[in-house]
């Protein structure tokens, strides 16, 4: 199965006579703050003439310190997407059942089906039937809904906390006493706005991490990503300014409501907006220099997803919407 993701489609831009620099991208859920100069210097100083550390030791030490565990609880990956695939490779056998919440990030189902598993889709917080593996995105993509789980289903549970740093209090299930069947995923590229470097982390009890390490390809995290991730984890000031982001979100939501739209509630930095035809709305906005996420691939053909950017950028989006309605 094909999975659609956010981000610019360069071929589409060429067809429209647009350049990437012409577009404000509201389709990816990253921190809108600019990358600090010191972090840019760290990336530039990375030694790309030799192979990177295949075990990402310094990065894992920084991650362990940030989340109060030992490095044996941590595995680094080439984005959370690689970790999702490694989890399926390590733990699934043909015919196993994988529970996937709906609607949600499409890579869970894709990886499960390629590994010949049966996919059981469910609505609500937790599945009602047992599964060998359960994927839960929390906060959920694309809805922005956050759930405070009080228990976990049987089998291995993957709790994808890619957007948890955008939720007030920055909740997490990571800790030295986390359940033996739990794997928590974290995406460093969301809060540090480094999507092009591809960097994710898996946290679990050491036996699960060891199983993932055995199927991990060598040198899966490049030197620049390791250096950037280590720096970001050791500098919590790089985390999103949630008060500023919340104020920008509320201003954007209010502006959309004034235009007659009805954005849905959210717990983090992105939200859904019902529209009359997501593909058509996306195209009209793109022609006016703003890219939003068509949610048809989530099973929501009449919704777009919008990630909050700076107040100035958000005003450009409001103007684009007004001209498109």
User: Smallest Cα–Cα separation from 204: which of 228, 220, 184?
Assistant: 184
Between residues 17 and 174, the one the model is more confident about: 174
Which residues have CB under 8 Å from 307's CB, separation 6+?
26, 27, 28, 29, 30, 32, 269, 270, 293
| Max CA pair span of the chain | 56
Report the range of poorest mean pLDDT among 193-197, 241-245, 304-308.
193-197
Q: At what angle do helices 311-324 and 278-287 cross, to 10 degrees?
A: 110
Flag whether pLDDT at 199 surpasses 90: yes
Task: List every span in the chain annotated with CATH 3.40.640.10.
Answer: 37-238
Segment 197-204 mean pLDDT: 96
- The verdict on whether omega for the bond into residue 142 sits within 30 degrees of 0, i.e. cis, is yes
Looking at CATH, the fold of the domain delimited by 10-33+240-324 is given as 3.90.1150
pLDDT reported for residue 2: 65
Region of poorest pLDDT, from 104-108, 137-141, 195-199, 259-263: 195-199
The angle subtended at Cα 160 by Cα 278 and Cα 132, nearest 5°, is 105
- pLDDT for 185 equals 98
The predicted pLDDT at position 273 comes to: 98
pLDDT of residue 229: 96
Answer positive or negative: Cα dihedral of 169, 171, 174, 175: positive
How much of the chain, in percent, has pLDDT values that exceed 70?
A: 99
**Whether the predicted pLDDT of 264 surpasses 80:** yes
Question: 282 preceded by cis ω (within 30°)?
Answer: no
* Helix ranges, the chain (H): 10-16, 37-44, 57-67, 79-91, 107-114, 188-191, 206-215, 223-234, 242-258, 278-287, 311-324
Q: What is the mean pLDDT of the chain?
A: 95
Domain 37-238, second-level architecture: 3-Layer(aba) Sandwich (3.40)
Residue ranges, comma separated, of all CATH 3.90.1150.10 domains in the chain are 10-33+240-324
Neighbours of 322 (CB within 10 A): 13
> What does pTM read for this prediction?
0.95
Least confident range of 80-94, 186-200, 270-284, 307-321:
186-200
Q: Which two tokens stand for residue 155?
A: 């089998």
pLDDT category, 1, cuts 50, 70, 90? Answer: low
CB proximity list for 156: less than 8 A, separation 6 or greater: 87, 91, 132, 133, 134, 181, 182, 183, 208
| Model confidence at 189: pLDDT above 90 | no
pLDDT tens, residue by residue, 28-83: 999 898 899 999 999 999 999 999 999 999 999 999 999 999 999 999 999 999 99
**How long is the chain?**
325
> Angle 79-91/206-215 helices, nearest 10 degrees?
100
Q: What percent of the chain has pLDDT over 90?
A: 85
Is pLDDT at 23 greater than 70 in this prediction?
Answer: yes
User: Is the pLDDT reported for residue 262 higher than 70?
Assistant: yes
Q: How confident is the model at residue 321 (pLDDT cuts 50, 70, 90)?
A: very high
What value does the mean pLDDT take over residues 18-31? 91
Q: What is the pLDDT of residues 207-243, one digit of tens each?
A: 999 999 999 999 999 999 999 999 999 999 888 899 9
User: Is the pLDDT at 4 greater than 70, yes or no?
Assistant: yes
Confidence of residue 9 (pLDDT cuts 50, 70, 90): confident
Tokens 């840019």, located at residue? 40
Q: What is the pLDDT of residue 160?
A: 98
Confidence of residue 11 (pLDDT cuts 50, 70, 90): confident
């Amino acid at each position: 199965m094909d999975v659609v993701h956010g981000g610019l489609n360069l071929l589409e831009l060429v067809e429209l006579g647009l350049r990437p620099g012409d577009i404000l991208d509201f389709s990816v859920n990253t921190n809108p703050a600019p990358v600090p100069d010191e972090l840019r210097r760290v990336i530039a100083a990375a030694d790309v003439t030799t192979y990177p550390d295949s075990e990402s030791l310094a990065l894992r030490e920084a991650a362990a310190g940030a989340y109060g565990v030992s490095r044996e609880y941590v595995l680094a990956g080439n984005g959370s997407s690689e970790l999702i695939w490694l989890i399926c490779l390590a733990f699934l056998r043909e015919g196993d059942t994988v529970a996937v919440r709906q609607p949600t990030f499409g890579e869970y189902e894709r990886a499960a089906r390629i590994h010949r598993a049966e996919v059981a889709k469910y609505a609500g917080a937790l599945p009602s039937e047992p599964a060998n593996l359960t994927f839960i995105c929390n906060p959920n993509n694309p809805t922005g809904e956050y759930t405070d789980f009080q228990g976990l289903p049987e089998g291995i549970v993957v709790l994808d906390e890619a957007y948890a740093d955008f939720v007030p209090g920055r909740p997490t299930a990571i800790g030295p006493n986390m359940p033996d069947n739990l794997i928590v995923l974290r995406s460093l590229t969301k809060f540090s706005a480094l999507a092009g470097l591809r960097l994710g982390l898996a946290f679990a009890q050491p036996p699960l991490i060891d199983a993932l390490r055995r199927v991990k390809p060598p040198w899966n995290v490049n030197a620049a990503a390791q250096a950037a991730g280590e720096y970001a984890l050791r500098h919590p000031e790089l985390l999103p300014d949630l008060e500023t982001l919340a104020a920008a979100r509320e201003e954007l939501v209010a502006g959309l409501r004034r235009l007659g739209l009805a954005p849905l509630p959210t717990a983090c930095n992105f939200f859904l907006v019902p529209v009359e035809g997501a593909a058509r709305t996306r195209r009209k906005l793109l022609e006016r220099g703003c890219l939003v996420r068509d949610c048809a691939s989530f099973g929501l053909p009449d919704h777009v997803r919008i990630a909050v950017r700076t107040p100035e950028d958000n005003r450009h989006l409001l103007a684009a919407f007004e001209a498109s309605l």
